[in-house]
Amino acid sequence: MTSGYGKEGPARTVTVSRLAGMKAAGQPVAALTAYDYGFAAACDRAGVDVVLVGDSLGMVVQGHETTLPVTVDDIIYHTRCVARACERALVVADMPFMSHTDVETGLANAGRLMKEGAAQMVKLEGGAEQAALVERLAAHGIPVCAHLGLKPQQVHKLGGYRVQGRDQAEAALMESDARALEDAGADLLILECVPSPLAEHLAGTLEIPVIGIGAGPGCDGQILVLHDVLGVTPQPPRFARDFSREAGGVQAALEAYVTAVRSGAFPTSEHGFAG
> Rule CB under 6 A: which residues touch ligand KIV?
33, 52, 54-56, 94, 147, 190, 192, 213, 223, 225
- 170 is a catalytic site residue: no
Query: Nearest distance from residue 217's CB to ligand KIV, in Å?
Result: 17
3-state DSSP of 49-75: CEEEECCCHHHHCCCCCCCCCCCHHHH
User: Do the strands 221-224 and 188-192 form a parallel or antiparallel pair, or are they unpaired?
Assistant: unpaired
Residue with smaller CB distance to ligand KIV, 25 or 69: 69
Question: Which of the 8 DSSP states describes residue 245?
Answer: H
d(CA 40, CA 85): 6
Enumerate helices (H) and strands (E) in the chain, giving the number of each. Answer: 12, 8
CB of 150 to ligand KIV, least distance (A): 9
Q: Which residue lies nearest ligand KIV, judged by its C-beta?
A: 54
Would you say 263 and 252 are in contact if contact means Cβ atoms under 8 Å apart? no
For residues 152 and 185, which CB has a smaller minimum distance to ligand KIV in the complex? 152
Q: Would you say 94 or 177 has its CB closer to ligand KIV?
A: 94
Nearest-approach distance from CB 53 to ligand KIV, in angstroms: 8
Least Å distance, CB 33 to ligand KIV, is 4
Instruction: Return the number of the residue (1 or 16) whose C-beta is nearest ligand KIV.
Output: 16
Query: How many CB atoms are located within 10 Å of the residue 36 CB?
Result: 17
> Which residue in 125, 182, 192, 255 is the catalytic one?
192
Phi, psi of 241 (to 5 degrees): -145, 135
Instruction: List the catalytic residues.
Output: 192
